[in-house]
């Protein structure tokens, strides 16, 4: 295990902004992970796990602690005796989209709608990633993690992960550090397509396809995403920067009177989920809005992009402006998806 000093985090995040980590270590198995955490504790350092860096914004001041980069690899498949499902034991450092491609190739249903999402497998339960009518919680059976406080390996069931909309037990401040080392997915060997999401439904309606294959669904999702998300080789981004807000039925009825055509989706406990992209575009007129070298992406205003040379200060300034304008205009307080480091 090699501890590196003063390592730039720009090249280790998809935003490509921010300062240096005081210390950084790459771990390839649970033993190295335990040693890295022990090192941080011994030196009195803050520590933080990092996967693909696809959902984080690093401060310009960097991180004054130890960044632990998870490089654990490996996929193991075990078919259920019922013949209808298969369990996949996937190490946290595996690339998420490569895992999705593997599942599709193996004719296993459940994660195909999540194609094209950047990052690693270890981040999937933390964020409860979701897209195009699917959430990863619906396929996760359990999560293996290192309990940094009690210095032991634990196995959390789906229920113990406390999944919610883009959240989980890992995002609850009351929880002591748990670093994901492996995720167990239970996928279907029988066709279980989810095609109700508007973009997907319209895609296959245009194609005239009633029963698309796994490969066709993955291809469709990748094509749709390509039209909404920028090229990471040209600009930095963490994808959707904010969560879609949830409001009460009363608030929704008030808003739809002011903004006819405001779309909505059912949420938990009778609440209503609103598409923030529609509000940013149609209500706040913010599509393509630029602040310094940070901007809202022209094709999808929910996505914040960073042009070369952008700083996290510029991004935070744009975020503050957008959040204030949305609240002033609609009364809605929007919540970010992206996690701050430093």
- Tens of pLDDT, residue by residue over 49-99, are 999 999 999 999 999 999 999 999 999 999 999 889 999 999 999 999 999
Start-to-end CA span in the chain (Å): 24
- pLDDT score at 232: 82
Domain boundaries, the chain: 4-70, 75-188, 236-341
Q: How buried is 189 (Cβ within 10 angstroms: 0-12 exposed, 13-18 middle, 19+ buried)?
A: middle
- pLDDT score at 172: 76
Contact criterion met (CB below 8 Å) for 312 and 16: no
Confidence of residue 192 (pLDDT cuts 50, 70, 90): very high
Q: Looking at the domain that runs over 75-188, which CATH code has it been given?
A: 3.30.465.10
- pLDDT score at 175: 62
Which CATH architecture group holds 4-70?
Answer: 2-Layer Sandwich (3.30)
Any idea which residues carry the catalytic annotation?
Answer: 166, 240, 337
One fold for 4-70 and 236-341: no
pTM across the whole model: 0.92
Q: Write a three-state SS string for 189-225.
A: CCCCCCCCCHHHHHHHHHHCCCCCCHHHHHHHHHHHH
- Tens of pLDDT, residue by residue over 193-219, are 999 998 999 999 998 988 999 999 999
- pLDDT score at 242: 96
- Tens of pLDDT, residue by residue over 251-279, are 999 999 999 999 998 888 889 999 999 99
CATH class of the region 236-341: alpha beta
Exposure string over 293-330, b if 16+ CB within 10 A, otherwise e: bbbbbeebbbbbbbeeebbbebbbebbeebbebbeeeb
Contact criterion met (CB below 8 Å) for 13 and 21: no
How far is CA 211 from its chain centroid? Answer: 28
H/E run at residue 273: strand 272-273
């Amino acid at each position: 295990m090699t501890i590196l000093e003063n390592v730039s985090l720009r090249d280790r995040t998809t935003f490509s902004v921010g300062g240096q980590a005081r210390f950084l270590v790459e771990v390839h198995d649970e033993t190295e992970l335990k040693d890295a955490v022990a090192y941080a504790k011994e030196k009195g350092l803050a520590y933080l796990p990092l996967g693909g860096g696809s959902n984080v914004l690093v401060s310009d001041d960097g991180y004054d602690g130890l960044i632990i980069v998870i490089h654990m690899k490996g996929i193991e498949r075990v078919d259920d005796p019922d013949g209808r499902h298969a369990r996949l034991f996937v190490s946290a450092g595996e690339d998420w989209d490569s895992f999705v491609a593997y599942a599709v190739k193996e004719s296993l249903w459940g994660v195909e709608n999540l194609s094209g999402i950047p990052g690693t497998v270890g981040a999937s339960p933390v964020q409860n990633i979701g897209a195009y009518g699917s959430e990863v919680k619906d396929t996760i059976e359990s999560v293996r993690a290192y309990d940094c406080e009690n210095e032991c390996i634990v196995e959390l069931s789906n229920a113990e992960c406390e999944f919610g909309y883009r959240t989980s037990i890992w995002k609850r401040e009351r929880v002591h550090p748990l670093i994901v080392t492996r995720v167990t997915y239970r996928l279907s060997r029988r066709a279980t397509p989810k095609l109700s999401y508007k973009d997907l439904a319209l895609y296959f309606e245009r194609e005239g396809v009633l029963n698309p294959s796994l490969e066709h669904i993955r291809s469709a999702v990748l094509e749709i995403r390509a039209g909404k998300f920028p090229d990471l080789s040209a600009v930095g981004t963490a994808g959707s920067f904010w969560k879609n807000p949830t409001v009460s039925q009363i608030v929704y009825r008030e808003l739809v009177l002011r903004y006819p055509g405001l779309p909505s989706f059912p949420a938990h406990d009778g609440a209503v989920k609103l598409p923030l992209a529609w509000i940013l575009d149609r209500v706040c007129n913010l599509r393509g809005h630029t602040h310094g070298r940070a901007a809202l992406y022209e094709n999808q205003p929910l996505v914040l992009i960073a042009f070369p040379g952008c700083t996290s200060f510029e991004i935070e300034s744009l975020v503050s402006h957008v959040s204030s304008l949305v609240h002033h205009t609609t009364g809605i307080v929007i919540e970010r998806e992206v996690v701050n480091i430093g």
